[in-house]
Structure 1
Amino acid sequence: MSKKVVLVTGASSGIGFETALELKDNGFIVYGAARRTEKLKELENKGIKTLELDVTNDESMVTCVDQIIKNEGRIDILVNSAGYGSYGAIEDVPMEEARRQVEVNVFGLARMTQLVLPYMRKQHFGRIINISSVGGKVHTAFGGWYHATKFAVEGFSDCLRIEVEEFGIDVVLVEPGGIKTDWGIIAAENLKKSSSKGAYAKNALKVAESQKQIYSGNRLTDPKVIAHTITKAATVKKPKTRYLIGFAAKPIVILKRVLSDRMFDKIIKSV
C-alpha cells in the first residue's frame, strides 16, 4: 500500500512542527504548511514538503490543497494545528482582533476541512485531527475570545464526526493542557497589550505575569508528547474521538465536572 499523505497546518512551530517531524519518521508523506515560510526550512531539511498557507486567506487555502492533490493525487489526513491565543478582557479586546481570533482558530480550520473532504469521501478514507485544547472544556481569566474559539472547535468536530462517518472518515479532537511552547508567552503579551490600562489592568497584569512564569518554567509538557498522540491517532485502526493530554489537563477537567461554577471560578482566580 502506498504511503499515506498528511497535511499539517501551523507547522512552523510548536505542536505542528513536532507533529510534522514525527509523522515523517513514521513513514507518512508529510506536507507542513504555515504562513511564516522562513521557519519551515528545518522541516525541508528533514525531507518534509512545505507550503505557504494563510488560514485567513481563502485563495491561499485552496492553492495549498490543490498543490498537494496535483503532486500526490490524495490527502489522507489533515492535522488542523494552526492557531493562537488572544487574551484580554472582553470589554477591551478590539472587535477586529476578536474576529481575527475566530477567523484563525475556527473558520480557518473549518475551511481547510471543507477543502479536503471531497477527496477523502472519494477514497472512502480520511482523518481530520483538530487540535483543540483543554480550553475547549474549561475557562480561564481573560481568555474569553480564545476559549470561545476552542469551545466552537469542540462542537464543530462533534457534529462533523456524525456527518462524515458513513464515508469512512474519522474526526479526532486532541485537547492539550499546558504545553511548553511560545503560546503562553504570546497570550500574555496580547493580554498586556489589550488590558494593561483601564478598569481591568490590576488583575490582567497579574494574570499576564503568571502566564509568563508558567510558560518559562519546566513544569509544562513537551510538544513532542502531543505529536506522539497525534501520530497514534493517525495510525491506529480506530482512533478515540478525543485525546485529553498534557500538563494539568485531566485534573482541571475533573474539577470542572465536580465543582459548581462559582467554586471553579474561585480556583481559577486564585491560580
Structure 2
Amino acid sequence: MKYIIVTGTSRGIGFELSKLFAEAGYKVLALSRNEKPIKTLGHYNIEAFSFDVSSAKDRDTLSNYLKDKNASVVALINNAGKLINKPFLELSEDEFKAVYEVNVFGVAAMTRLIIPFMDKSGHVLTISSMGGIQGSAKFPGLSAYSSSKGAVLTLTELLAEEFKETGPSFNALALGAVQTEMLEEAFPGYKAPVSAKEMAEYILDFALKGHKMYNGKILQVSSSTP
C-alpha cells in the first residue's frame, strides 16, 4: 500500500491538502489530534486516526500500523504546527517547550519514523514559515514559533546532505501568511492574501514534483515583499 502522509489535518492547509490528494487518487493517511473533521468527509482514499506528533506512544502506534499494511510512503508532509503569540517575557518555559515539541522534535521524530518506509524516490516536505528565514520580517510575540520554524529549515538541509546517496529527498517551504484558523487565533482580524486551499494546491504539486528538481532547499512561498 502506497501512502501520502499528512500531519495536522483537522483544519487549514492540512485538511485541504488531504482532500486534494484524495481527490487526485492518492491514498492519504491523515494524522491529527482531532480526526473527526477529516473523517466526516468520508472519502474512500483517506484513512485517519487521532495522532499527536509529540507523543511517542502515538508514533509507535503509527509504526505498527504501517508495518501491518506493508506500507510504502511516497511523501511525508510535516504540516502539524503549534503557534503561541505572547511577549517573550510572559512566555513560560513550558509554553516555549510545547511549541518546540510539535514544530521541531515532532518533525524530527516523524521523519525518523517514516524514512524506513520510503525508497530513494520519496519526499519529506516540511512546512515552515517566512518567520524562520534569516533576515525576513519578524513579529513580536512569535519568539518560540518563528525560532522553531527556523530550526526545521536547518534540519532539512542537514538531512538532505546525510541521505543524499540513498534518498529520500528533503525540502521545506517557508510560507507567508495564509488564511487559516491558526492565523486567526494568533492575529484576530488579520486577512491573509492566500487561502488555505490555494496554498494546499501549491503544496500538493511541489510534494509530488518538487524533489525532482530540488533537494535540501528552502523555498520562500510568499507573495509579499520584501
TM-score (norm 1): 0.76
Tell me the SS of whatever aligns to 1:82: coil
Residues 3, 71 of structure 2: 8 Å contact kept = no
State the AA in 2 paired with 1:166: E
Paired residue for 2:143? 144
Kindly state the Cα deviation for residue 66 of structure 1 after the two structures are TM-superposed. Answer: 2.5
Kindly state the Cα deviation for residue 247 of structure 1 after the two structures are TM-superposed. Answer: 4.5
Q: How does 1:54-203 map to 2 (within 5 A)?
A: 54-120=52-118, 123-137=119-133, 138=136, 139-187=138-186
Distance 1:4 1:118 in 2: 13
Deviations 1:140-189 (A, max 9, x none): 112111111011011111111111121131111111111010112322xx
Matched, 1:10 2:8: yes
Query: Taking CA–CA contacts closer than 8 Å with sequence separation of 6 or more, which of the two structures ends up with the larger relative contact order?
Result: 2
Paired residue for 1:212? 188
Residues 45 and 23 (structure 1), Cα distance of their counterparts in 2 relative to 1, 3 Å cut:
closer
Residues 43 and 82 (structure 1), Cα distance of their counterparts in 2 relative to 1, 3 Å cut:
farther
Residues 42 and 239 (structure 1), Cα distance of their counterparts in 2 relative to 1, 3 Å cut:
farther
State the AA in 1 paired with 2:92: P
Distance 1:40 1:158 in 2: 32
Deviations 1:183-230 (A, max 9, x none): 12322xxxxxxxxxxxxxxxxxxxxxxx3121xx3x420112221222
Residues 153, 218 of structure 2: 8 Å contact kept = no
Tell me the SS of whatever aligns to 2:212: coil
State the AA in 2 paired with 1:11: T
Residues 177 and 88 (structure 1), Cα distance of their counterparts in 2 relative to 1, 3 Å cut:
same
Deviations 1:13-55 (A, max 9, x none): 1111111111112221111010012222234346311122111
State the AA in 1 paired with 2:29: Y
Larger helix fraction of residues = 1
Larger strand fraction of residues = 2
Residues 8, 80 of structure 1: 8 Å contact kept = yes
- Cα RMSD of the aligned pairs, angstroms, is 1.8
Residues 8, 81 of structure 1: 8 Å contact kept = yes
Paired residue for 2:34? 36
Identity of aligned residues (%): 26
Distance 1:4 1:230 in 2: 19
Decide which structure has the larger Cα Rg and report it: 1
Residues 3, 75 of structure 2: 8 Å contact kept = yes
TM-score (norm 2): 0.90
Matched, 1:19 2:17: yes
Q: After TM superposition, where is structure 1 displaced by more than 4 Å over at least 4 residues in a row?
A: none
Q: How many residues align?
A: 220
Matched, 1:238 2:207: no
Residues 6, 18 of structure 2: 8 Å contact kept = yes
State the AA in 2 paired with 1:76: V
Kindly state the Cα deviation for residue 72 of structure 1 after the two structures are TM-superposed. Answer: 4.3
